[in-house]
Structure 1
């Protein structure tokens, strides 16, 4: 099982801020948003009013679920990785457990 989860990129479109999986793509590339719309990527200035638009409800929920899974995977990874100097888990073959 891979513990890597792709990030996401927010994209203003049609009066709402939507998100698509992965890093920012080049302007003009068509992407499929979490809410299943297919739209061309466009770059908006950070101080532009588009970034104040409300989030798409579907994209907001799905991005939140991805973030929750990413946090869970990171916690599990930390819980199962032993720090340097930790005693290894008891397994058959180890002399002293």
Structure 2
């Protein structure tokens, strides 16, 4: 695994919670007896840029089909997310130079 922000391979394990089901997945009565998909919830820290991250990528369809929270309704969250993206892009452009 390499860092999603700076591409470094210097990642250290911070917390391994094993496999877990995606959050906000509401099961129907027919799904209650079926096995749920699980994904590794293993938090890692990049020693180069200090980004905390998990290795598993879950598709938006698996995560947000029944998601009850809409981040676009929160102006402060949208501002924060934009600032983070701008800083991450700036960091990557300087790291690539």
What TM-score bracket applies, with the shorter chain setting the length?
A: 0.3 to 0.5
**More helix by percentage:** 2
> Higher relative contact order by CA 8 Å / sep ≥ 6: 1 or 2?
2
- Quick check: which has more Rg, 1 or 2? 1
TM-score by length of 1: 0.33
